Amino acid sequence: MTDQYAVIGNPIDFSKSPLIHGMFAEVTHQDIAYTKILGPLGEFAKTVDAFRANGGQGLNITAPFKLDAFAYATERSARAELAGAVNAMKFDGNKVIAENFDGVGLVRDVVHNLKTPMRGQRVLMLGAGGAARGALLPFLEEQPELLVIANRTLAKAQALVAQVLAQQPSAKGRLQAMGYQDLVGEQFDVVFNATSASLTGDLPPVPATVFAPNGLAYELAYAKGLTPFLRLAQNAGVKHIADGVGMLAEQAAEAFAWWRGVRPDTAAVIERIRVPLV
């Protein structure tokens, strides 16, 4: 019998998840059906209940339901707890087990696909929202020399750092919060843009001097081409720039492996959905 999976969001037409998981199923010979669910706003629990009643075994969750999924879950991983958000669930009887694979997928793309080590490096994350929160524990596991969370509202970055240090006291001294104005005179080997600026075509207010020329500038948004953030890095002389298409594929592969017990290779998927950075 074909096993049922889906992605839920609103809007959902743009989602590449059915394409990605369809390709994964083909190469791993898994008998699954993967669909898109347009979740009515305010009816997340009702919609997921119906999916489970019809035999659904797992879900990916995208905007705006990651917080609803967090509340719906009966068990959550440490990554999901820190992020306060969930992007994958699987169902086992009455249990709803929840995960957040965004940060794991991001690290996998940077370290494995882009061949950019984070160990011993100075790493900057712009933004302190959900995308940043989900990445912090996987980032710290890579043992960077310094991990800075910079945000327009410094207090938000400081609160996030304090929350992480409560779970990971060994990160004290390696994890810091800064306001954007504090970045003047600082330089980083890897710079991530996890702000919403690129979704609106805006530029985060950071000095071009934050980029190490031989480092990596990474835009978590994908399929946006050369965003203002990536253009700033390119104009600053950064040779290595990337968007979040690899992160998208890698977090999907993590969910697929979690559900099915086999991890698919992502190279063909990344090549299929990549948009040129021009």
Mean pLDDT of 135-159: 95
Cα Rg, the chain, nearest whole Å: 19
- Whether the per-residue pLDDT at 156 is higher than 90: the answer is yes
Domains in the chain, CATH or no CATH each: 3-100+246-273 (3.40.50.10860), 103-243 (3.40.50.720)
Q: Tell me: the pLDDT tens digits for 112-123? A: 999 999 999 999
Q: Kindly list the catalytic residues.
A: 66
What pLDDT score was predicted for residue 174?
95
- 130 pLDDT band (50/70/90 cuts)? confident
Between these two residues, 277 and 201, which has the higher pLDDT value? 277
Taking CA atoms, 254 is separated from 88, 117, 189, 207, 249, in Å, by 10, 20, 26, 35, 9
What pLDDT score was predicted for residue 110?
98
Given the structure tokens 């299929």, which residue do they identify? 272
Q: Tell me: the pLDDT tens digits for 160-171? A: 999 999 888 988
Q: Tell me: the pLDDT tens digits for 15-26? A: 999 999 999 999
- For residues 90 and 97, the answer to whether their CB atoms sit within 8 Å is yes
* Closest by Cα among 275, 274, 264, 273 to 17: 273
Give the pair of three-digit tokens for residue 246: 């690899």
| Alpha-carbon span 148 to 138, nearest angstrom | 14
* Closest by Cα among 32, 71, 22, 77 to 55: 32
| Alpha-carbon span 49 to 43, nearest angstrom | 10
Query: Mean pLDDT across the chain, nearest whole number?
Result: 94
- Whether the per-residue pLDDT at 65 is higher than 80: the answer is yes
What pLDDT score was predicted for residue 189?
98
What pLDDT score was predicted for residue 131?
80
